[in-house]
């Protein structure tokens, strides 16, 4: 029986780990910088990539046995897809595994920020019961949400908000969604028009050259002063400096942020000290269910190594 060598950039759930251990040897990278990975991947057949590190052209060129890399999650912005395709490395991911975790987390941030839960909790822990008389939240019921990026996650967010709170759904995407336009009354519109109308704006786009700093000062200036902004997609989709200026100036009312331009984000990041911001450390998919499903990208990796078609190919290998 052929035994393969696998490299984990970071630990994964034991369910996915067992899949690899049944067909080969598994090693954990000692670090995820490029030079370390080049040294340690010379005999690797398959790699599992999470948030730390990436699969660069230099790593691929120095890993002659590499045939497949599995993205533990959905975003592949830390993988050089062109280099992988040129060198015959199949990239696979887990697009279905992240949908519920990200959607629920997004809605949770909306509720928490709207009800000022973080501010209330901090005050109460310091013995300030009277904070209940000073803070004024607001309800989501009947408000309008603008969803930028209407793929699986954006659609799930729309369905939850419409069903739970009767929210009106505006969306912007490169592809129309006639099914949700009919079933929940979702309205497609240009991005600038969406920003001007929405009470809540939530971002669910991949990080691409076209979406880097998609939200800059000009976009925040279009939003309503009472609007709340949420990013659970990728940090660099938002110009953080512009977001901070919009929050400080009152151009927008608040923000919920799970992802940052630099991760881990520095302790002196201004967003961390703002009362009108709810922050979490890139943990939308830190649920038992999502971690299991993301780890099972290993099943697709084994399919590729055995010559079978993967369920979720990212690139096309001849």
pLDDT tens digits along 84-94: 999 999 999 99
Q: Average pLDDT for residues 257-280, to the nearest whole number?
A: 97
pLDDT (0 to 100) of residue 264? 94
Task: For 235-249, write each residue's pLDDT tens digit.
Answer: 999 999 999 999 999
Per the prediction, the chain carries an average pLDDT of: 97
Q: Average pLDDT for residues 60-77, to the nearest whole number?
A: 97
Closest CA to 93 of 67, 75, 69, 71: 71
- Give the CA radius of gyration of the chain: 21
pLDDT (0 to 100) of residue 318? 78
CA distance 7 to 127: 49
Partners of 27 in the beta sheet? 7
DSSP assignment letter at 287: S
Task: For 26-66, write each residue's pLDDT tens digit.
Answer: 999 999 999 999 999 999 999 999 989 999 999 999 999 99
Confidence of residue 130 (pLDDT cuts 50, 70, 90): very high
Catalytic residues: 234, 263, 282
Say what the pTM is. 0.94
User: What domains are defined for the chain?
Assistant: 4-97+288-305 (3.40.50.720), 99-279 (3.40.50.720)
Closest CA to 273 of 253, 244, 238, 252: 244
């Amino acid at each position: 029986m052929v035994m393969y060598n696998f490299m984990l950039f970071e630990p994964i759930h034991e369910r996915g780990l067992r899949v690899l251990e049944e067909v080969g040897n598994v090693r954990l990278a000692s670090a995820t910088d490029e030079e370390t990975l080049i040294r340690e991947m010379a005999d690797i057949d398959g790699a599992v990539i999470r948030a730390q590190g990436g699969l660069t052209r230099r790593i691929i060129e120095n890993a002659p046995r590499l045939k497949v890399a599995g993205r533990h999650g959905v975003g592949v912005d830390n993988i050089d897809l062109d280099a992988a395709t040129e060198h015959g490395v199949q990239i696979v991911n887990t697009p279905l595994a992240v949908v519920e975790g990200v959607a629920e987390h997004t809605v949770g941030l909306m509720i928490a920020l709207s009800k000022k839960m973080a501010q209330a909790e901090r005050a109460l822990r310091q013995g300030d019961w009277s904070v209940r008389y000073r803070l004024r939240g607001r309800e989501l019921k009947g408000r309008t949400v603008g969803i930028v990026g209407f793929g699986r996650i954006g659609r799930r967010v729309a369905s939850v908000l419409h069903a739970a709170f009767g929210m009106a759904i505006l969306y912007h995407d490169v592809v129309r969604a006639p099914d949700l336009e009919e079933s929940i009354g979702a309205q497609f519109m240009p991005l600038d028009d969406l920003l001007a109308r929405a009470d809540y704006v939530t971002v669910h786009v991949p990080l691409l050259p076209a979406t880097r700093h998609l939200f800059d000062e000009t976009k925040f200036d279009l939003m309503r002063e009472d609007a709340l902004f949420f990013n659970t997609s990728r940090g660099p989709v938002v110009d953080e400096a512009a977001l901070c200026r919009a929050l400080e100036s009152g151009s927008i009312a608040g923000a919920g942020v799970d992802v940052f331009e630099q991760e881990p984000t520095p302790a002196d990041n201004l967003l961390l000290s703002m009362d009108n911001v709810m922050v979490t450390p890139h943990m939308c998919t830190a649920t038992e269910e999502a971690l299991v499903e993301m780890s099972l990208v290993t099943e697709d990796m084994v399919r590729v190594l055995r010559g079978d078609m993967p369920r979720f190919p990212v690139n096309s290998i001849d």
